[in-house]
Structure 1
Amino acid sequence: MSSNGGTAILGAGLFATEAHLPALVKLGPAAPPLKAVYSRSESSAQKLAAAAATALHVAPGVYHDGDTSANLDALLKRSDITSVILVLPIAHQPGVIVKALAAGKHVLSEKPVAKDVAEGAKLLATFESQYKPKDLVWRVAENFEAEPGFQAAGKAIRDGKIGKVMFFNMSVVNYIDKKSKWYNTPWRTVPDYQGGFVLDGGVHSTAALRVTLQSPLTYLSGFASLNKDYLKPHDTVNAVLKAADGSHGMFELTFAAPTQSRTGNTMTVTGNSGWLSVSHATVEDASTGSQTPVIRVTIKSITEVDGKAGVEKEEVVDEPVRGVEIELKSFFAAIGGADDGLGNPAEALKDVAIIQAALNSKGQPIDLEKLISQQ
């Protein structure tokens, strides 16, 4: 992998430190060496560099906006850096994506693809016309799409284990107070993009629906509201969705749960010969006592015997949570010419379209395909 050059992390916030850096550690030689880190502030860049030195045993270059000789432009001029991982605030990412591509770098940018459908579509068109022909790779880091648990749920449906999908439900209830580390990020506290947490976190849920259901979601009707003033502009959406295969379902998403006890994240998909559920769980190792976060897929199947419903069979699949590691591995493999399709910006745009439609529907049906195509 080192023959593809080095990589750099642009952005030194929580997710860069707590997710991307550990993922690079797990990938080991499957990832290119970390050559540099960048943040708008020198202190945060130094902090990430120190964490990288401890975890990866490297000394990445430190770049920040306070020094013109060591700013983002200077980093992008380095010929030994061929790819960048963007973990920047939502509104800032599109400009940096284009700047990095223009500098000849392969780009993995954190979800969402952009703050809205119009900007995402414009960004995708720019990439397709100007940079894809130069064999540059741009992928969107959506770890729920990459999670083996959601992939396993999708495979169970493709394999016919629950029959034809009839209806589905996605319920994601989060509790965010002012003490949350995710709330206490300046760009999240005063968001300059639609939906606030509903967009930032909601695209995880829409991506999970996308890879599980298989059939594209085509129509949405819903309502949005704000229930906790500090979570402006919206903190809750409830919507009805229809898929191309005729199935339909409910999408419940909120960050305004009154207490921690009300929280939960569960998807159920019901077919004509069974059903499955997808939830988050923790598995404890009996010998070591260590705990591993997993995505648990429970599949209930019924087969007919002599024209009558037989015994219900249960299959439980526990997949360790490792979406960030997988999306990084997929990105680096794509640079090398082995593209497995993960992180496709056009698919990530569909995730934003669902959230945007839910925020703006006010009960009126919205054609999701038209929302994207009209941009």
Structure 2
Amino acid sequence: MSEQKQKLSIALLGSGIFAREQHLPAILECADTVQLKAIYSRSIASAEKLTAAAKEAGLQDVEAYASESKDHDLEALLRREDIDAVIICLPIPVQPSIIRACLGAGKHVLSEKPIAPTLSAARELLLFSQRPETPAFLATTAHTHVTSALWAVAENYRFQGAWGYARTRIEGLGRILNFNVRVASMVEPETNKYFATSWRKTPSFPGGFIMDGGVHQVAGLRMLLGEDEVIERVSAFSRCNQEHLPPVDTVNAIMRTKAGTVGTFSLGFGTTDNCYEFSVACERGVVVVGGGGKVTVRPSEKGAQEEVKTISGNSSVKEELMAFAKGVLKGEIDGRQTPEEAWRDLELIEKMLQSGEKNGETMEVTGKME
């Protein structure tokens, strides 16, 4: 791709709920930076349906591709020299093979979270995706595929203003004393649109909704704690409360950071409780992130007033796409989208699940490929 190029030509791989409701609108809003050339799906009908929607919105030069098509399948799409990059929004179990194929074809990749279904699968992808300037994060060069293509992993929490603002306020309140995360809701089979997808009903990846949704909560917590409070130990118990949410829908964990700070992490998708609260207590006050971008700061100083600020932009998929496009055009992925950051999100979730399977056994969180 020419260094002088100012617009990124992309393909959208996936036509499900998030692709339709978030990625396509974001692409439309970023028309000055990206140009949609193709849409791929497993079925011809779904690919053509989303392609038609894109054309109705004003994107006329978009072609439909599908695994069912002999002439317009993924291989054909990846052979196109006029497509620079792809956005991958496909079921968790199939994403690794698609990421590998796209990187192997020299296409820059923005893939949806989590980075992979398991740490072992993520490790293989990280090794495969090595660039000539291999990062120190990669401990071995076995089974690698050196490529000039860039790989980014989407995590929209990192682009929501509430988390950055809350982190700034935490930094001004002194040493962190403890932290607590409470996120709870009921995923109803009749009303939850994401449950309706077949690969979520019968998940072939660890953790089910805990893995799928939990990486968001982990990313949010890690942003609040910052680099000085990296979680290194976790002990958890897990359970499946609802038969329709296998293998587990609830996890409760105790965590300890390298600095010795202790906190809790409670996540449940099969409960009648309803809450969303990330609380960080510091020497001079407490910062709480709630739903809808609401950030509450409660200074402990006598006479100080509680502050409440709501920061809009709860999806931030547009901001993700802009960051990815700018990163590709300048040859360097935004730090909030690196596969290494996504790896660390996944590791914490996987270690909680493993601890739950082992009756609360304490697990080490290394942040490194093992």
TM-score (norm 2): 0.90
Aligned mates of 2:29, 2:262 — CA distance in 1: 39
TM-superposition CA deviations, 1:236-277 (whole Å, max 9, x none): 10001112222221101111023xxx3221101000111110
The equivalent of 2:140 in structure 1 is none
Read off the aligned partner of 1:323 and give its amino acid letter.
S
Q: Give the counterpart of 2:18 among 15, 24, 39.
A: 15
In the TM superposition, 1:1-375 aligns within 5 A as: 3-30=6-33, 32-128=34-130, 134-158=147-171, 160=172, 162-179=173-190, 180-214=192-226, 215-258=229-272, 262-281=273-292, 295-302=293-300, 309-320=301-312, 321-337=314-330, 339-361=333-355, 362-369=359-366, 372-374=368-370
**Corresponding residue of 2:143:** none
RMSD, matched Cα: 1.8
Q: Which residue of 1 aligns with 2:137?
A: none
Q: AA paired with 2:166?
A: A
Q: Does the 8 A contact of 1:37 with 1:61 survive in 2?
A: yes
Gaps of 5+ in 1: 282-294, 303-308
Which amino acid counterpart does residue 34 of structure 1 have in structure 2? L
Deviations 1:326-367 (A, max 9, x none): 111111111012643111111111111111111111211111
Q: Which amino acid aligns with 1:275?
A: V
For residue 220 of structure 2, what is the amino acid of its counterpart?
A: A
Quote how far apart the aligned CAs of 1:156 are.
Answer: 1.9
Show CA shifts across 1:46-75 (max 9, x none). Answer: 111122122343341000011121000000
TM-score by length of 1: 0.88
What is the distance in 2 between the residues matched to 1:39 and 1:135?
A: 26
CA distance in 1, matches of 2:79, 2:57: 26
Q: Which residue of 2 aligns with 1:305?
A: none
27 and 318 in structure 1: CA distance in 2 versus 1, 3 angstrom threshold: farther
Aligned to 1:201, the other structure's residue is in SS state: helix
Contact 1:173 1:263 in 2 (8 A): yes
Counterpart-to-counterpart distance in 2, 1:146 and 1:368: 24
- Please give the alpha-carbon distance, in whole angstroms, between the structure 1 residues aligned to 2:161 and 2:76: 38
Equivalent-residue separation in structure 2 for 1:178 and 1:322 (angstroms): 23
Q: Which moved further from structure 2: 245-254 or 13-22? A: 245-254
Give the SS at the match of 1:266. strand
Distance (Å, rounded) in 2 between the aligned partners of 1:322 and 1:333: 19
- Paired positions, count: 348
Unaligned 5+ runs, structure 2: 135-145
Cα distance in 1 between the residues matched to 2:157 and 2:217: 8
Identity of aligned residues (%): 35
Q: Which whole-Å deviations, capped at 9, do the CAs of 1:187-227 have from their partners, x for residues lacking one? A: 11111100110100010000101111102211100011111
Residue type of the alignment partner of 2:83: I
